[in-house]
Copies of this chain bind each other. A is one copy, B any other.
Amino acid sequence: MEEKSYGPVVPEDFTFGLTEEDKLLLDCGRKLGPVNIRFETYGKLDEKKSNAILILHALSGDAHVAGYLDGDRSKIGWWDGMVGPGKGFDTDKYFIVCSNVIGGCSGSTGPRSFNPDSQNFSKIYNMDFPVITIADMVRAQYRLMKHLGISQWLALAGGSMGGMQALEWAVSYPEAVRSIIPIATTSRLSPQSIAFNWVGRQAIMNDPKWNSGNYDLDKVPESGLAIARMLGHITYLSDKSMDRKFGRELQESESYTFDFKHNFKVESYLKHQGEKFVERFDANSYLYISRAMDYFDLSGKFGGDLAIALSQVHAPFLVISFSSDWLFTPEESLKIVEALRINSTDVTYCDIKSIYGHDAFLLEVDILKRIITDFLKCRYEEVK
């Protein structure tokens, strides 16, 4: 099996914060511990530990970025087209790490985790979990980096919320980043995106099964979570790609059914996406991670000046956007590029022509590969 040669390797979870001093101090002022980090690695770390790349996942992603786990062919990594031998993030050359964010539900500490301070019978955080930020996620990843004995990432790369983490790394730990690849992302969530997140969360929190967050795993707020996911999906696609993919085609029917069941192909698609998501994602995690995105504003602590926020970073950037992405538009990427230029930071910017909207960062792997391969090659030649 090909995947054996490059990964995924699933090391034992990294756990820290077992003592009061070692806990993770969060932006909200609370301390989190113990903290568990689920991560996977691909390829081999070179002797100088100079070829490590951290891949950062988006809202619904996890540590499983490529290949299959234990030969389980049902679940391929979320960026398999980009990570592997000879791919954009070439596992023959680089040591790839991907960890599940804190607040998530795929192995790292999140609302479904054991709460050491719980007064409740369940001993699960649920809504007692602290509201985390993108910077908090990055703080936990920094601990993981230290644990791995790595002092600098060759590159940090991610799309969407993954790009936000990459940007936050650059600002929080400029000495630890050799290069940054923010893809289809923004330096601050727009009110439109905050609004979409708000509506999605209301759908979850108004589902009676949500039960103030204290649902049993056999009785989850599936309809609320499905609505949030379906809404999200609309924002990930472009008007044009929906037109091409679905048009006004009907599903399992030659004509209008004159009822409220799924009649259009696009309705069936959304319904299916909602149902699939509920099986694999935790509703409370959805609340926490979307809230972390709301709070993301890279320039917030710098008087709203993005150039000042990025002024301590000297690592080169490769900023990538997609022409039809209306969630995190090319204009948002350009703001990052402009701020970097003000600082005379080395920046390459590519706006890729694509009809796939925000999802393009998962789909346009051929062009992404070409751009990223060259960029990484240059970075690696500088250090190896």
A residues neighboring B (CB under 8 Å):
27-28, 127, 130-131, 188-192, 194-196, 198-199, 201-203, 205-208, 223-224, 226-227, 230-231, 233-234, 237, 239, 242-243, 245-248, 256, 258-260, 262-267, 270, 287, 291, 294-295, 297, 326, 329
Using known A-B contacts A195-B270, A198-B266, A199-B234, determine if residue A205 contacts B247 with beta carbons closer than 8 Å. Answer: no
Closest-by-CB residue of B relative to A205 is B260
A191 and B294: CB pair below 8 A? no
Nearest neighbor of A331 in chain B, beta-carbon distance:
B239
From B194, B206, B270, A227 is in contact (CB under 8 Å) with: B206
- Nearest residue (CB) in B for A256 is B295
Contacts of A206 in B (CB 8 A): 207, 223-224, 227
Cross-chain contact B196 with A234 (CB below 8 angstroms): yes
In angstroms, how far is the closest chain B Cβ from the Cβ of A150?
31
Interface contact A248-B191, CB-CB below 8 Å: yes
Looking at the assembled complex, report how far the CB atom of A347 sits from the nearest CB atom of chain B, in whole angstroms: 24
Closest to A231 in B: B199
Q: How far is the CB of A221 from chain B (nearest CB, A)?
A: 10
A227 to chain B, nearest CB (A): 5
A258 touches B191 (CB 8 A): no
B199-A227 in contact (CB<8A):
yes
Residue of B nearest to A26 (CB): B258
Query: Top 7 nearest A-B pairs by Cβ distance?
Result: A206-B223, A131-B258, A28-B258, A191-B266, A191-B242, A191-B246, A198-B267
A237 to chain B, nearest CB (A): 8
Q: Give CA–CA (A258, B295) in the complex, Å.
A: 9
By beta carbon, the residue of chain B nearest A327 is B239
Contact yes or no, A194 B264, CB < 8 A: yes
- Chain B residues positioned under 8 Å from A237 (CB to CB): 192
Within the complex, the shortest CB–CB distance from A29 to chain B, in Å, comes to 8
Q: Which residues of B contact A259 (CB under 8 A)?
A: 131
Closest to A207 in B: B206
Measured CA separation A287–B259 after assembly (Å): 10
Q: Which residues of B contact A131 (CB under 8 A)?
A: 256, 258-260
Among residues of B, the one whose C-beta sits closest to the C-beta of A297 is B248
A195 touches B234 (CB 8 A): yes
Residues of B within 8 A of A245 (CB): 191
Q: Which residue of B lies closest to A257 (CB)?
A: B131
A262–B27 CA distance with the chains assembled, in angstroms: 19
Complex Cα spacing A223 to B189, Å: 25
A339 to chain B, nearest CB (A): 17
Report the bound CA distance from A196 to B242 in whole Å: 12
Known contacts A195-B270, A196-B234, A264-B194; decide if A248 and B202 are in contact (CB<8 Å): no
CA distance A295 to B250 in the complex (A): 11
Least CB distance from A187 to B in Å reads 12
